[in-house]
Amino acid sequence: MFKSTKTNRRTGENRSDSGQGINSSHQSLASRIQSWRSHHRLVATQSIQRLISTPISSVLTMLVLAIAITLPAALNIAITNVAQLTGQANDHVQMSLYLQNGISDTEGRKLATQIAGWDSATSTRYVSPQEAKDSFKTMEGFTEIIDSLPQNPLPGVVVVILSERSLSINQAEKLRKKAVALQDVSIAKIDLAWLQKLHAIIGLAQQVAAVLTALLAVGVVLVVGNTIKLSIDSRREEIIVTKLIGATNAFVRRPFLYMGLWFGIGGALIALVLINICKFALTNAIESLSLVYGGDIALAGLGFTNSITLVLMGAILGWLGAWLAASQHIRALEPR
Amino acid sequence: MIRFDGVTKRYDSGQEALSDVSFELDAGEMAFLTGHSGAGKSTLLKLIMLMERASSGEVWIDNQNLAKLAKRHVPLLRRKMGVVHQNHQLLFDRSVYDNVALPLIVAGYHPRDIGRRVRGALDKVKLLHKEKMNPQMLSGGEQQRIGIARAVVNKPPFLLADEPTGNLDPALSAEIMQLFKEFNQVGVTVLVATHDLALIARMHHRSLILRDGSLIGNGAPKQAPTTDTNMDDN
């Protein structure tokens, strides 16, 4: 049986080295690294095959993950869209400077030209008292009132289009004070009230979305962790035998980490599909809304970068869930 | 080298499985571990494999005191020993080939070497033609031989066997023992736990005899007699 001349039927190799008991497991570092990499490849494909072998439960798990990923992602997209709309509305933030009585049109125009030179102003326009009176006259019901007045009560106004698209309260106040400080200006107004309310609401929504995102991320980790725990339980015997043969915890953990990774990526990919289905379903509704407002409201989707980020996040969360479950349960599984 | 120095193993239940056991097995030696069931044979093997740790006393493997072996080094120790279990501990979810390849994959062998070594080990136990089968389809004796192939595939310096012939008929038992003997002849330190006294008597090897956790016999022929010819029934 130990005749060294016997050749292996399959490989045709001479087995003269067979049976050397001691010092036979020396291996170079390069060879170890290569075998480590090949084991990763093997485990990665085997864990995919394992998921495919139980398609229904795998898809169900991924669907749960997908829903948990879709909810905060969709909420964030919605907020981004609203913020974008208000950004468009902010395009022309105006400041109105009501001039002192008795300022002539020439002086008014001069002031307008002067303010147009400010960094914070894009352009300015002088509205004379006469123009203001004319525009009031075009309004229903005002004609008679205006005509009945002995003299034009309206002051000249310099309308300033601000260069900043959005203003903080502090910025707005500073600008307002700067304008009031001008000799000819009696009142300066920037109508920020509705913008501030909207910004506060968007800010709140963003915080709610952040909390929801964190909660559902924990949910993803727990769902993957639980699935991996069940998988570990079902492969108890294999784990114990492998440990008995000299496997490290890292070796035993590896297939489960890959499984978690695939769950996370799969969940995120399904979430991407769900998000795009939602976007498609909403497109018609948005178009009719856009028509009503006469604007060009386009629904922003996830975009390429965000899609990649989403899948990456899914991968990280899946891996994390698997790591938590595997490091806890595999350490406890020792051969007895 | 395997050395026990006043080793006592007491389980949490209070039961003392081994009491003050001392012996030394030289590198390249082959010995039997015998005694009635419950005498402590399995416990002794478990201490060597570090499935259990001694309550007191010291277990030394290759000049390494196991009590001082960090947990993370346990896998490395286990790779030094091939273990043949009574219930062979094969995995039925994969082929014979994959079962035998497992210790090599665990130890990080180069993929190129794995096929060659697995087929070498399977050839040695004469089951090369069944490499693609599931071990469940094999007979008890064949499963035991697959277990042996897996134990020796990475050519460990130690070979431990716990009742390897427990479920086999005498002819198969003799065949398995002959395999162990051949491994021993190429330098492997072999320790076989068995209660098959007839088999031991025929093998003319040293015997460690346990009774109620104490070592009551440690001796007999230290060298196998050269006149041992009637074993070769292959």
The string of pLDDT tens digits covering residues B158-208 is 999 998 887 788 888 888 889 999 999 999 999 999 988 888 888 888 899
* Residue B34 forms contact with A (CB below 8 Å): no
Rounded to whole angstroms, the Cα distance separating A21 from A18 reads: 9
pLDDT number for residue A114: 86
- φ, ψ dihedrals at B221, nearest 5°: -60, 120
Asked if B91's CB is within 8 angstroms of A21's CB, the reply is: no
pLDDT number for residue B221: 52
Q: With b meaning 16 or more CB within 10 Å and e meaning fewer, what string describes B8-17?
A: ebeeeeeebb
pLDDT number for residue A293: 65
Burial class for A309, CB neighbours closer than 10 Å (0-12, 13-18, 19+): middle
pLDDT number for residue A52: 93
Please report the residues numbered 72 through 101 in chain B whose beta carbons come closer than 8 angstroms to any beta carbon of chain A: 72, 75-79, 83, 89, 91, 93
Q: Which residues contact A37 (CB under 8 A, 6 or more apart)?
A: none
* Residue B154 forms contact with A (CB below 8 Å): yes
Domains of chain B: 1-80+157-234 (3.40.50.300), 85-156 (no CATH)
Q: With b meaning 16 or more CB within 10 Å and e meaning fewer, what string describes A9-20?
A: ebeeeebeebbe
Q: Which residues of A touch B28 (CB under 8 A)?
A: 21
Residue A61 has pLDDT above 50, yes or no: yes
Residue A215 has pLDDT above 60, yes or no: yes
CA gyration radius for chain A?
Answer: 36
List the single residue in A20, A42, A238 with the smallest CB-CB distance to B155. A20
Asked if B77's CB is within 8 angstroms of A21's CB, the reply is: no
pLDDT tens across A62-93, in order?
A: 999 999 999 999 998 888 887 777 665 555 67
Rounded to whole angstroms, the Cα distance separating A106 from A85 reads: 39
Q: How many CB atoms lie within 10 A of CB B229?
A: 7
pLDDT number for residue A242: 93
pLDDT number for residue A171: 78
Q: Which residue has the tokens 């352009």?
A: A123
How does residue A264 score in pLDDT terms, banded at 50, 70 and 90?
very high
* Residue B182 forms contact with A (CB below 8 Å): yes
- Dihedral (Cα; A126, A129, A132, A136), 10-degree rounding: 180
Rounded to whole angstroms, the Cα distance separating A139 from A163 reads: 30
Task: Note the ipTM here.
Answer: 0.86
Q: Which residues of A touch B154 (CB under 8 A)?
A: 24-25
How far A317 CA sits from the closest chain B CA (Å)? 27
pLDDT number for residue B158: 95
Q: Which residues of A touch B107 (CB under 8 A)?
A: 25, 246
Residue A13 has pLDDT above 60, yes or no: no
How does residue A213 score in pLDDT terms, banded at 50, 70 and 90?
very high
How far B231 CA sits from the closest chain A CA (Å)? 14
pLDDT number for residue B60: 94
* Residue A7 forms contact with B (CB below 8 Å): no
Sheet with B56-61, strands from edge to edge, namely: B16-25, B2-10, B56-61, B64-65
How does residue A260 score in pLDDT terms, banded at 50, 70 and 90?
very high
How does residue A1 score in pLDDT terms, banded at 50, 70 and 90?
very low
Please report the number of interchain residue pairs, chain A to chain B, with beta-carbon separation below 8 angstroms.
111
CA B188 from centroid of its chain's CA atoms: 11
Q: Which residues of B touch A244 (CB under 8 A)?
A: 49, 51, 78, 83, 89
pLDDT number for residue A233: 93
Q: Which residues contact A255 (CB under 8 A, 6 or more apart)?
A: A43, A46, A47, A50
Mean pLDDT score, A239-251: 92
Asked if B72's CB is within 8 angstroms of A9's CB, the reply is: no
Rounded to whole angstroms, the Cα distance separating A309 from A332 reads: 35
List the single residue in B49, B157, B182 with the smallest CB-CB distance to A22. B157
Q: Are B140 and B148 in contact (CB under 8 A)?
A: no
- Type of residue found at B62: D
Tokens of B168: 């086999």
Closest CA to A163 of A101, A91, A61, A264: A91
Closest CA to B23 of B31, B12, B11: B31
How far B19 CA sits from the closest chain A CA (Å)? 20
pLDDT tens across A111-143, in order?
A: 888 888 888 888 888 888 888 888 877 777 777
- The larger pLDDT score, comparing residue B154 to residue A102, is at B154
Residue A173 has pLDDT above 90, yes or no: no
pLDDT number for residue A280: 86
Mean pLDDT score, A172-201: 79
* Residue B119 forms contact with A (CB below 8 Å): yes
Rounded to whole angstroms, the Cα distance separating A185 from A188 reads: 7
Q: How many CB atoms lie within 10 A of CB A243?
A: 22
Q: Are A260 and A323 in contact (CB under 8 A)?
A: yes
Distances (CA, A) of A104 to A116, A132, A152, A184, B41: 18, 14, 14, 10, 115
Q: Which residues of B touch A31 (CB under 8 A)?
A: 110
Rounded to whole angstroms, the Cα distance separating A206 from A82 reads: 11
Coil, strand or helix at B81: strand
pLDDT number for residue B227: 44
Closest residue, chain A, to B90 (C-alpha) = A241
How far A254 CA sits from the closest chain B CA (Å)? 12
Sheet with A157-162, strands from edge to edge, namely: A121-127, A157-162, A94-99, A185-190
Query: Which residue in B77, B100, B124, B136 has the most chain A C-beta atoms within 10 A of its own C-beta, making it the best mutation to test that interface?
Result: B124
Closest residue, chain A, to B106 (C-alpha) = A247
Rounded to whole angstroms, the Cα distance separating A176 from A189 reads: 7
Asked if A238's CB is within 8 angstroms of B93's CB, the reply is: yes
DSSP code per residue over B19-78: EEEEEEE-TT-EEEEE-STTSSHHHHHHHHHTSS--SEEEEEETTEEGGG--GGGHHHHH
Domains of chain A: 40-87+197-332 (no CATH), 94-163 (3.30.70.3040)
Q: Which residue has the tokens 């991996």?
A: A228
pLDDT number for residue A78: 86
List the single residue in A32, A237, A245 with the smallest CB-CB distance to B106. A245
Task: Please list the residues that pair with B23 across neighbouring strands.
Answer: B4
**For chain B, which ranges sit under pLDDT 70?**
220-234
Enclosing H/E stretch for B160: strand B158-162
- φ, ψ dihedrals at A32, nearest 5°: -65, -45
pLDDT number for residue A294: 58
* Residue A242 forms contact with B (CB below 8 Å): yes
Residue A16 has pLDDT above 60, yes or no: no
Coil, strand or helix at A28: coil
Q: Are B106 and B79 in contact (CB under 8 A)?
A: yes
Asked if A13's CB is within 8 angstroms of B116's CB, the reply is: yes
pLDDT number for residue A183: 82
Closest CA to B189 of B165, B160, B209, B163: B160
Rounded to whole angstroms, the Cα distance separating A214 from B3 reads: 56
Q: Are B195 and B36 in contact (CB under 8 A)?
A: yes
Q: How many CB atoms lie within 10 A of CB B200?
A: 21
Angle at B41 between CA B36 and CA B44, to 5 degrees: 155
Q: Are A112 and A157 in contact (CB under 8 A)?
A: no
Tokens of A289: 């809304």
Distances (CA, A) of A110 to A46, A117, A122, A184, B170: 79, 11, 16, 11, 119
Sheet with B158-162, strands from edge to edge, namely: B81-84, B158-162, B189-193, B30-34, B206-211, B214-219
Mean pLDDT score, A162-166: 68
